[in-house]
Amino acid sequence: MSQPTRVRVVVHGRVQGVFFRDTVRRSARERGVAGSVRNRRDGAVEAVFEGEPEAVDVLVALCRNGPPHARVERVEVTEEPPEGISGFEAG
């Protein structure tokens, strides 16, 4: 088991109202990744992923593409120190 990694992802484009958060939440839970995902007031979606690097990479790739009705224009990814969180919440 490798050291966990943590990233904060901000996704811009048509990403609200297209099941983006639910898609991310389900995928994170399936992969055992902790964190959260939420809509921001500026129309973006922000997510935090913490877990195995390979699983986190899969979620970042999912954010770059989004679900079928999303139109991702830009993705910002920032590495952060792991905090040892558990569970995944969608807000």
Catalytically annotated residue among 8, 14, 31, 39: 39
Q: Which residue has the tokens 């991702």?
A: 72
Kindly report the three-state secondary structure assignment for every residue of 16-54: CCCCHHHHHHHHHHHHCCEEEEEECCCCCEEEEEEECHH
39 catalytic? Reply is: yes
65 catalytic? Reply is: no
20 close to 68: Cβ distance less than 8 angstroms: no
Catalytically annotated residue among 8, 21, 31, 71: 21
32 close to 51: Cβ distance less than 8 angstroms: yes
Q: Mind telling me the catalytic residues?
A: 21, 39
